[in-house]
């Protein structure tokens, strides 16, 4: 390309600002801005032709119609639109009217250039306005996932602001039974709380099957602390409604949509959540995280350790129980979708491994009265102190292992099972989750967290 020949052809098309004159050769001479390129071309042509120098005027430019003279004005508008929002990173985008895009195409065509030569007006506006915005709001540009996304509409002369979500990671313990992880809408009334003009019997007219959830005990506090529009709870799997979540807790992320505050004191937030949950749940290890943590938590295929109270229909000896548990340890279990979830999950056969097992008979049962733990009808006194009809069992298994069915056999849908090995019907009457862990701790990677509001 002969840049002077291009400059003469471009200048002959009509009044051009320096930026529009320089932009079609924006891929030449790294380190210059388009306005500097255009000014240099205009100066060189004037010198070579020995003609008076005539500066370009953006307001008269037939290509951008003054846009390139308004970068500071747009930056002021953006700064005003972002006032009151707390953020560390931003990105500027631009909607360019079809007329201006057509003008750019015509300029290159008339000057004998390829239609894609240089850079488009959109990219220049993004860059020039973007760097001015950064100086005004003292934030950094992030082209991947900024805290705020600003879009300039050159046609309507408006600024659209999208505030991206903020995220808080931690682990929770659920300390009371019959509390689901997230809100549980009632399907009988489609969350309306009413059937045929009467309160829904399935939810007592509330629209939800349970009065509280871990989400409701934690997320509102985080939403309020970040002054957000909404908070969404994301857990690394979930325990049964009637199970406790103890020990090391379960990883979770709370996503706060449209937060006006991001820099939160996580230690104070942790105390506020635990006070709000009032002993029903508690959290620990809170940290401000990045959006990537949501997917990481959801995809976390952790192994889990369970503690179960198991009731047998007949007394079981210590040695018999130990032998059966030992036989399960290290086994690969085949599990057809359990009867209790078959209505909402596909009927397939899964294989899961049992890593470790341990258990002991209930001392109270071995030495005295047999409490009703199964059908509400059986009681009595055991004659053999080495036998009992109830035990406490710990099982560490692969993620996705149905431990209740591992104990009961689920009418032959799980093989092998504790009940099958014992030859005695068995049922889990209480279930606690003690640990949710991976082969390696997947949440220790610092790239998934923000420290003091910064990556």
- Please state the domain extents for the chain: 3-163, 166-300, 303-437
Could you confirm whether 240 is annotated as catalytic?
Answer: yes
Q: 60: which residues sit within 8 A by CB, 6+ positions away?
A: 15, 17
Residue-wise pLDDT tens for the chain (455 aa)?
689 999 999 999 999 999 999 999 998 888 899 999 999 999 999 999 888 888 877 678 999 999 999 999 999 999 999 998 999 999 999 999 999 999 999 999 999 998 889 999 999 999 999 999 999 998 999 988 899 999 999 999 999 999 999 999 999 999 999 999 998 888 888 888 888 888 888 888 888 888 899 999 999 999 999 999 999 999 988 888 989 999 989 999 999 999 999 989 999 999 999 999 999 999 999 999 988 889 888 887 788 999 999 999 999 999 999 999 999 999 999 999 999 888 777 889 999 999 999 999 986 544 333 333 333 333 332 334 456 799 999 999 998 899 999 999 999 999 999 999 999 999 999 999 999 986 445 566 666 677 644 43
Residue 66 gets which letter from DSSP?
A: T
Q: Establish whether domains 166-300 and 303-437 are of one fold.
A: yes
How far lies 427's CA from each of 44, 164, 292, 411, in Å?
90, 47, 40, 12
Residue 14 gets which letter from DSSP?
A: S
CA dist., res. 121 & res. 34, Å (int): 10
Interhelix angle 121-137/98-110, nearest 10 degrees? 120
Fold held by 166-300: Alpha-Beta Plaits (3.30.70)
Whether residue 56 contacts residue 38, with contact meaning beta carbons closer than 8 Å, is answered with: yes
Whether residue 199 contacts residue 276, with contact meaning beta carbons closer than 8 Å, is answered with: no
CA dist., res. 314 & res. 323, Å (int): 17
Fold held by 303-437: Alpha-Beta Plaits (3.30.70)
Which residues of 64-135 form beta strands (DSSP E)?
89-95
pLDDT reported for residue 451: 61
Q: Which two tokens stand for residue 121?
A: 């007006």
pLDDT reported for residue 370: 33
Q: Which two tokens stand for residue 175?
A: 């300390």
Q: How many residues comprise the chain?
A: 455
CA dist., res. 60 & res. 13, Å (int): 13
Residue whose C-alpha is closest to residue 250's, from 302, 183, 176 = 302
Q: What is the pTM of this model?
A: 0.79
Q: Which two tokens stand for residue 46?
A: 């004037």
Catalytic residue among 240, 242, 292, 394: 240
Helix residue ranges, H only, 335-451 = 363-367, 403-408, 418-422
Write down the architecture of domain 3-163 according to CATH.
2-Layer Sandwich (3.30)
Whether residue 304 contacts residue 397, with contact meaning beta carbons closer than 8 Å, is answered with: yes
Checking 107-115 for CB contacts under 8 A at 24+ apart, the result is: 107/10, 107/13, 107/16, 107/20, 107/24, 107/63, 108/24, 110/9, 110/10, 110/12, 110/13, 111/6, 111/9, 111/10, 111/13, 111/24, 112/5, 112/6, 112/9, 113/1, 113/6, 113/24
């Amino acid at each position: 390309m002969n840049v002077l020949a291009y400059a003469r052809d471009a200048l002959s098309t009509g009044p051009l600002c320096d930026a529009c004159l320089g932009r079609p050769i924006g891929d030449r001479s790294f380190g210059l801005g388009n306005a500097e390129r255009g000014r240099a071309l205009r100066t060189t042509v004037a010198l070579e032709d020995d003609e008076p120098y005539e500066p370009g005027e953006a307001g008269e430019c037939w290509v951008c119609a003054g846009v390139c003279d308004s970068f500071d004005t747009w930056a002021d508008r953006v700064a005003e639109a972002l006032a009151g929002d707390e953020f560390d990173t931003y990105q500027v985008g631009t909607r360019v009217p079809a007329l201006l895009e057509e003008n750019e195409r015509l300029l290159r065509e008339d000057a004998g250039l390829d239609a894609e030569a240089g850079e488009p007006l959109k990219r220049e506006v993004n860059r020039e306005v973007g760097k001015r915005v950064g100086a005004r709001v003292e934030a950094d540009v992030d082209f991947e996932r900024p805290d705020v996304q600003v879009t300039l509409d050159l046609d309507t002369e408006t600024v659209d602001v999208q505030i991206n979500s903020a995220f808080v990671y931690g682990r929770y313990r659920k300390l009371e039974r019959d509390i689901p992880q997230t809100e549980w809408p009632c399907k009988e009334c489609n969350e309306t709380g009413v059937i045929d003009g009467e309160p829904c019997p399935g939810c007592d007219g509330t629209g939800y099957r349970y009065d509280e959830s871990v989400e409701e005990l934690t997320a509102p506090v985080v939403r309020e602390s970040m002054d957000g529009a909404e908070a969404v709870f994301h857990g690394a799997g979930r325990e049964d409604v009637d199970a406790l979540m103890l020990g090391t807790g379960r990883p979770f992320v709370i996503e706060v949509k449209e937060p006006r505050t991001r820099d939160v004191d996580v230690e104070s937030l942790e105390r506020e959540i635990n006070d709000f949950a009032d002993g029903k749940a508690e959290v620990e290890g809170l940290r401000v995280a990045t959006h990537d943590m949501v997917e990481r938590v959801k995809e976390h295929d952790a192994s889990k350790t369970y503690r179960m109270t198991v009731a047998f229909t007949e007394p079981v000896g210590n040695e018999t129980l130990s032998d059966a548990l030992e036989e399960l340890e290290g086994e690969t279990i085949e599990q057809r979708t359990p009867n209790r979830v078959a209505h909402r999950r596909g009927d397939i056969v899964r294989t899961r491994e049992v890593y470790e097992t341990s258990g002991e008979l209930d001392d109270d049962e071995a030495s005295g009265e047999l409490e009703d733990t199964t059908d509400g009808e059986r009681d009595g006194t055991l004659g053999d102190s080495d036998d009992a009809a109830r035990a406490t069992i710990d099982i560490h298994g692969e993620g996705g292992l149905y431990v209740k069915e591992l104990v009961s056999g689920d009418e032959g849908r799980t093989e092998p099972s504790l009940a099958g090995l014992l030859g005695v019907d068995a049922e889990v009457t209480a279930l606690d989750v003690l640990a949710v862990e991976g082969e390696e701790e997947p949440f220790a990677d610092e790239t998934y967290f923000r420290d003091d509001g910064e990556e």
